[in-house]
Amino acid sequence: MSRKFLETESPAWVAEGLISEEQRQKLLARYPPEAQALGLLPLLGSVLVGLSALSVVAANWQGLPAVLRLALLLGSLLGAYGAGAYFRRRGNVDLSHGLIGLGLIVFGASIILVSQLYQLVGYDVSGLLAWVVAGVALSYVYGSRLLVLLTVVIGAAVQTYCVEVLGSFSYATAVLVAAGLGYYWWRRPEVVSSTVLATGLLWQAGLLVIVLHAKITWFFVPAMAIYAAGDWQQSRNGARALQGPPLVAAYLFMFGLATFGETDTYANVLRPPLLPYLLSLGAVFAISVAGKRARGRFDTLLDWLLLLPGFYLPGGLPLAVATLVVLYAHAGSVLARAHRQQDSDQLTLGAVLFVVATAVAYFKLTWAFLDKSLFFLLGGVLLLGLSWYLRRRNAQTLAAAPAPTAPAAGEAPDSTVAPETPPRHD
């Protein structure tokens, strides 16, 4: 909730008797007018100052004596961490976390530059692994969303370096990010951090598939393991934020199959050995179902429609039809869930998915048979008609919506955080 929202809506709350004027003033007092802007300014300032210093040092790096280089690195590192601790003690938490994040970046740069300085050619990832460890540790110590985001990016960068330069996958890096930040997410399921963490883990899963030269459909086993972890999360918003990236990946894959699945050679590239693949995916599915049952979220079970292994069907028409059916069924499940929950965002998402499925079906069925001007004309009329109908239907549903219901059994409100969780300030 922002001060702007309160200033706009709270007079109507007072007029309707929901809150008193005194309570309104207390609510406004919790959100000082310039708190957010002031919180961003020192963060941006610390980043610009850091970039300026790094630019000057980089331009003159080769001409500096070795001792001076080491002193600069050590001084920058201690200066950033020391300044962060100083401002934290003075209560300026935003600036403190910005400086600590700058220190984390300098720490990684120091590892690389010291290796170059003493020509320490490394054939393993030990040095960079220390960078990931530092990021995970600082995330726990300071409880900062900024440090979590930096650590996810650092983990992805280290893993990419291992694959591209060393030609191997660093399981230690993957475990550190997945377990270290995964437990952090379990205790503090903030939406942005959850999405970034899931995206970073998917990146590492993709790199693993590349290194192992496996069929790309194996990617969906670890991807859906991330999704299944979300089913066990108490906070529904945190869970859906973590599950979003795997679902987007699965949808794009199914969309690609529906669009280009007529080429049988292309489909063959996707087929891993049937039994091991189904057993692996089935095990993840069982974990997901158990989580949905424990948290009372069976309404999201149809998300798994996108993981139906339709690519084992013969290429051509059977595969194209099967994937279109899946896209329509998935869009229908999202719309049905949105209508049950009276969720306007889900209604919009379901409408978009339904229109996309219709567009794919129209393109597949009519492109080769219709005159192109007639193809675009009918397509435009069809989409406009669908848009009008879905908007009308959504408006009627939301207008008839009852009062919001209480959370399902076993599910905490979205604002629920573990008791020992300290407040986050950035």
* CA–CA–CA angle 62, 66, 69 (5° rounding): 75
Q: How far apart are the first and last CA of the chain?
A: 15
- Provide the pLDDT for residue 232: 93
Helical H runs in 61-125? 66-89, 93-117
- Provide the pLDDT for residue 49: 67
Q: Please provide residue 415's backbone torsions phi and psi, each rounded to the nearest 5 degrees.
A: -85, -5
- The residue behind tokens 């970034």 is 196
Helix (H) or strand (E) run with residue 7 in it: helix 3-15
Question: Cα dist. 388→294, 358, 359, 383, 392 in Å?
Answer: 39, 14, 15, 9, 6
Would the pTM of this model clear 0.75, i.e. be above it? no
- Provide the pLDDT for residue 39: 53
Helix (H) or strand (E) run with residue 203 in it: helix 191-211
Q: What is the C-alpha to C-alpha distance for residues 303 and 351, in angstroms, rounded to an integer?
A: 16
Taking the chain (426 residues) in runs of 10, the rounded mean pLDDT of each run is: 68 79 78 55 63 67 77 85 87 82 85 74 73 91 87 92 87 92 91 92 93 89 93 90 93 84 66 88 93 88 85 74 83 82 77 80 67 61 67 65 50 43 44
- Provide the pLDDT for residue 218: 92
- Provide the pLDDT for residue 200: 94
* CA–CA–CA angle 411, 412, 414 (5° rounding): 120
Of 370, 258, 362, the residue nearest 318 (C-alpha): 258
Q: What is the C-alpha to C-alpha distance for residues 208 and 222, in angstroms, rounded to an integer?
A: 10
In one-letter notation, the amino acid at residue 175 is V
**What is the DSSP secondary structure assignment for residue 168, as one 8-state letter?**
S
Residue 416 in 3-state DSSP? coil
Q: Are 315 and 264 in contact (CB under 8 A)?
A: yes
| 235, β-bridge pairs | 412
- Provide the pLDDT for residue 426: 45
Q: Write the DSSP assignment of 328-389 as a string of letters.
A: HHHHHHHHHHHHHHT-HHHHHHHHHHHHHHHHHHHHHHHTTTS-HHHHHHHHHHHHHHHHHH
- Provide the pLDDT for residue 402: 57
Contacts of 395 (CB under 8 A, 6+ apart): none
Half-sphere exposure of 389 (CA within 13 A, CB side): 8
Of 220, 391, 234, the residue nearest 303 (C-alpha): 220
